[in-house]
Amino acid sequence: MARTQDRQEIMERAEKFDPSKHPAYSYRTDENVPAFTDNKALIVFDGVCIFCSGFAKFVLKHDRHNRLNLCTAQSDIGRALYVHYGLDPDNYETNIVIRDGRAHFKSDAFFEVMKLLGAGWPVLALLQIFPRGPRNWLYDRIAKNRYKLFGKAESCILLPPEHRNKILDTP
């Protein structure tokens, strides 16, 4: 019985973060979301999470085709996007990746980034063959324990100066 309930909970949470639940570019009509350049994919990440900031640095290093911008979840744009998509703006349970106006969450967000990086990284997107529910279950375990495992900074970690043009908004 408990396993069935766990499985059902996993599937319900997966549905909450289904990108098809939100129309493309819906944030443009939300007066609470500051206007931002959306001609590239945008990664909204937890800027005080050392693991998340490390991922942001990794993305900046490997984004050879200049396809991605970044924004911390603590920034005005990041907070507004969390609220727009029905997420808690003070509890960053997922990165958000907005690509072609569509929001992607949790493991889907990770795979969208891998597809955009080029070189050999898109190969990781093959892991999307696994169902969203179990993928997001694993994502949730890492997300819930990221501060314990990797640490938390007192303030948003500064990214290298040569990449500041890719950061849309700072807190």
Nearest Cα residue to 109 out of 146, 145, 70, 80: 70
- What is residue 73's DSSP assignment? T
Instruction: Report which of residues 14 and 67 the model is more confident about.
Output: 67
pTM for the model: 0.83
Mean pLDDT of the chain: 84
Strands 68-72 and 41-45: parallel
Query: So what's the pLDDT on residue 14?
Result: 52
User: pLDDT category, 128, cuts 50, 70, 90?
Assistant: confident
What count of other Cβ atoms lies within 10 Å of the Cβ of residue 164?
Answer: 10
Give residue 63's region: left, alpha or beta (phi > 0; psi -120 to 50). Answer: beta
Structural domains in the chain? Answer: 6-150 (3.40.30)
* Token pair of 162 as six digits: 């040569």
The backbone torsions φ and ψ at residue 72, rounded to the nearest 5 degrees and listed phi first, read: -80, 150
- If phi over 0 gives left and psi between -120 and 50 gives alpha, with beta otherwise, what is residue 21? alpha
